[in-house]
Amino acid sequence: MVAAGEFLIAITFAHDALKAISAGYPIALIHPAGVSWDIGSVSLIKNGPNPAGGKKFIDWVLGRDPIQLIVDLNFEGSLRSDVSLPLGATPLEKIDLVDYKLDWAAQNRQRALKQWGELFKK
C-alpha cells in the first residue's frame, strides 16, 4: 500500500519492500535499531516414508544454486557467504538486530501467550 501511495509508512518484511523497490516504486527501506528477524527452514519429518530422499533433498536445497534462486525470486537474504544479496538489501552484519534470548523465550512462551491473549480478547 506504501508502494501504491495509499500510505506513507508501513511495517513489513524487508524482502517485501525490496520487491517493490526492484519494481521501480519510489520507496525506501529502513531497518530500525533492535529490529527482529525470521529464518526460513527445511525439515525432515520423523518416521516419514522416505528419509533418504528427504535428506538428499535437504542437502540439495541448502546448496548455493537453490539458495541463490530463492534470494533472486523472493528478495530474501541468505547467511551463505557465496550467495549474492538482492539489490538494495542491507548485509546482515550492518543491521542492529534485537538481542533475542531463545532460551528465555522458550521458558516463557506459555506465560507470554496467555498475557497476549488476555490483552487482546475479542
Tell me the per-residue pLDDT of 54-74, one tens digit each, with 9 for 90 and over. Answer: 999 999 999 999 999 999 999
Cβ neighbours of residue 44 closer than 8 Å, sequence gap 6 or more: 51, 54, 55, 58
Domain ranges of the chain: 14-119
| 36 in Cβ contact with 105 (< 8 Å) | no
pTM for the full model? 0.74
SS3 35: strand
pLDDT digits (tens, 9 = 90+) for 20-43: 999 999 999 999 999 988 888 899
Which residue bears the cell 550467495? 83
